[in-house]
Structure 1
Amino acid sequence: MRINADFTKRVAVHFDQNEWIASPAAGVERKMLDRIGEEVARATTIVRFAPGSAFSAHTHDGGEEYLVLDGVFQDETGDFPVGSYVRNPPTSSHTPSAKEGATILVKLHQFDPDDRTEVRRSINGQGNTQLFKDAHEDVRVFNLAAGEALDLDASHGMELFVIEGSLRESDENFTTWDWLRLPPGARSTAVAGASGARVWTKTGHLAQMV
């Protein structure tokens, strides 16, 4: 399976225009943003867990990174409510579930193979925040006031996900849970809408894909 797999191109996926697709686990649906592979895949996905749903225990050979968008996500290490940012490095394993339901943005099989750094933190109540940085990538959250511009330096590739609010980039409007990927070498500007915007970004990680 290959979805938005040409990393030399700008890609935008709007949440309301993307269909939910059932996963192998009952009650778990996905909106695929990009993907290379079948069930074990390099993937960026919005995943929705119905109340009481779960995945069976599994190991993330290529690592897992997620941001909780709605509800409470759970595994053996605890409960992760809205605003939780988690990195489970390569070789980690867990049994994810959502007793009351949850929606997450998740990225799989995209870590440096030698990365063993675990991250568990909340973005709630935070301003502009650097969530993680190493030689491979830089992950941040930006809070933009109405009309504020954000320079999008994608010299080594960039992803942007709208957590709340709206913004405009390249004459295209992005609202809550919309996603944008810029290819390495691109440069652009995003301007927040009338209600401002809160966005998650990742940079530096796509150069090896082109």
Structure 2
Amino acid sequence: MLINADFTRTAIVAPHEYEWVSSPQSGVERVMLDRIGAEKARATSIVRYAPNSSFPSHLHPGGEEILVLSGTFSDEGADYPAGWYLRNPPGSSHRPSSDEGSTIFVKLQQMADTEQHAVRIDTRDPSNWHRQGSREVCPLFADDSEQVILYRLAANELLFEQLLQGFELLVLEGSVTAGGQTYEPGSWLRMPTGQHLDFIAGQEGTTVYLKTGHLVQQKAEV
């Protein structure tokens, strides 16, 4: 299965374009944002857990990155309300579930083999944020191949002050405008190296998830 598998092209999925697809597990469905492979795939998805739903224990050979968007997500006996950021390194296993229901942003099989440590960050904790000029930032992860950060911008602020070598963005709060389009919460955009648009925070400001660095070596899948 190939979905937005050409990493040399811009990919955009807005909330009104979400297509919810049932997973093999009852009560769990997902929106496939990009995907290379069948059930065990390199994938980026929005995943929705119904109340009292779960997945059986399974392995993640290529690692798993999660941002909890709503509800409470549970993993290996710990509960993670909206705002938690998790990284489970390659070779890890878990049995995810949700008692009250939750929606999460998930990236599978996209970590370097050298990544060894789990990450757990509560982005709702003010101590994890700091001021960077006129904006607030919450660093989530950084290594030689990628950087992940949350940005909180004031109204009409320009998101990028310099040209990036490709990036992936998820709008979490407020809105951003680019190229004459407005992107509301839940909008996902992947911009390849060599393309550029000015992204500007909406009138109410915005909070976004931003990943950079990981697209530099990506090529089109055929």
Q: Same fold (TM over 0.5)?
A: yes
Aligned residue identity for 1:93:
S
What is the CA–CA distance in structure 2 between the aligned matches of 1:197 and 1:35, rounded to whole Å?
A: 27
Matching of residue 178 in structure 1 with residue 190 in structure 2: no
Query: What pairs with 1:196-207 in structure 2 (closer than 5 Å)?
Result: 196-207=205-216
Paired residue total: 209
Partner residue in 1 for 2:114: 114
Partner residue in 2 for 1:36: 36
Query: What pairs with 1:89-168 in structure 2 (closer than 5 Å)?
Result: 89-124=89-124, 125=126, 126=129, 127-151=136-160, 153-155=163-165, 157-168=166-177
Shift of 1:76: 1.2
What is the CA–CA distance in structure 2 between the aligned matches of 1:192 and 1:87, rounded to whole Å?
A: 28
Instruction: Confirm or deny: 8 A CA contact 1:5 1:35 kept in the other structure.
Output: yes
Deviates more, 1:187-196 or 1:129-138: 187-196
Aligned residue identity for 1:135:
D
Deviates more, 1:185-194 or 1:96-105: 185-194
**Relative to total residues, which structure has the larger strand share, 1 or 2?**
1
Aligned residue identity for 1:136:
S
Shift of 1:22: 0.7
The alignment-based identity, stated in percent, is: 49
Shift of 1:77: 4.3
What is the CA–CA distance in structure 1 between the aligned matches of 2:85 and 2:48, rounded to whole Å?
A: 16
**TM-score normalised by length of structure 2:** 0.91
Shift of 1:186: 2.5
| Runs of 4+ that moved beyond 3 A | none
Deviates more, 1:168-177 or 1:27-36: 168-177
Matching of residue 48 in structure 1 with residue 57 in structure 2: no
In structure 1, stretches of 5+ residues that fail to align are none
Query: What pairs with 1:18-97 in structure 2 (closer than 5 Å)?
Result: 18-97=18-97
Shift of 1:103: 0.2
- Residue by residue over 1:26-47, the C-alpha shift from the partner in whole angstroms, topping out at 9 and shown as x without a partner, is 0001011000011100100000
Aligned residue identity for 2:163:
D
Shift of 1:74: 0.3
In structure 2, stretches of 5+ residues that fail to align are 130-135
